[in-house]
Amino acid sequence: MIRKIIHIDQEKCNGCGACASACHEGAIGMVDGKARLLRDDYCDGLGDCLPACPTGAITFVEREAAAYDEKAVEANRKAKGMPASGGCPGARARQMHRQEAAVPDAPAGPEQSQLGQWPCQIKLAPVNAPWFDGAKLLVAADCAAYAYASMHRDFMRGRITLIGCPKLDGVDYSEKLTRILAGNDIQSVTVVRMEVPCCGGLELAVKKALQASGKFIPWQVVTLSVDGRVLD
């Protein structure tokens, strides 16, 4: 079958082994000092290993590959005396498929989360995760969801969400965002930032990434006040 599966660039691999440790399925091993994909059917295609790689040696490719075999993975882990796969929930990549309420006039209940994938932190997100294909991208300040009560309904619904705080993380997100925009079919970008000056770094990073990606992608910026109002 043709499916998305990881590819490890041997020239870029520095042999640190971080990807092998991050792969809960045991699909990656160290061979002659370099990371290798040991078996196609051990790779679930979610990319836990991507954010672990410090050199950007791991990407997704579409090619003929055996389907992911969860039973084979569990048997292999059991044979090696390893616990059942799953790992830390904070490290595992996953996609959530949301469904609208079947009955529009049903009594209102708790509002459903609109987060479409995990992880959502810019620093942790895999660059070529499958959920980016054809996605409308939301890049939001960490604080935005706390300041604006309807963040899920008004901004996150129907979008893939990435969050960050340039002041707390102390990094320039533009390089990571450039790789996401250049390597995936992103349909649009919405930036939701706070009115405080440090949030300007988030907007600037997106602007730089859009320019560096070489693509024309529609984008907009929404600024929130600290008391939860939409300013523009």
- Both tokens of residue 78? 């059991």
CA distance 82 to 221: 47
- Both tokens of residue 102? 């079947």
Residue ranges of domains in the chain, CATH in brackets: 2-79 (3.30.70.20), 113-224 (3.40.50)
The model carries a pTM of: 0.64
Q: Determine how many CB atoms are found less than 10 A away from the CB of residue 153.
A: 11
pLDDT at 192: 97
- Both tokens of residue 187? 């349909």
**Up-side HSE of residue 226: CA atoms within 13 Å toward CB?**
5
CA distance 68 to 173: 32
- Report whether pLDDT(29) > 50: yes
- Report whether pLDDT(153) > 50: yes
Identity of the highest mean pLDDT range in 24-28, 90-94, 207-211: 207-211
Tell me the CA end-to-end span of the chain in Å, nearest whole number: 47
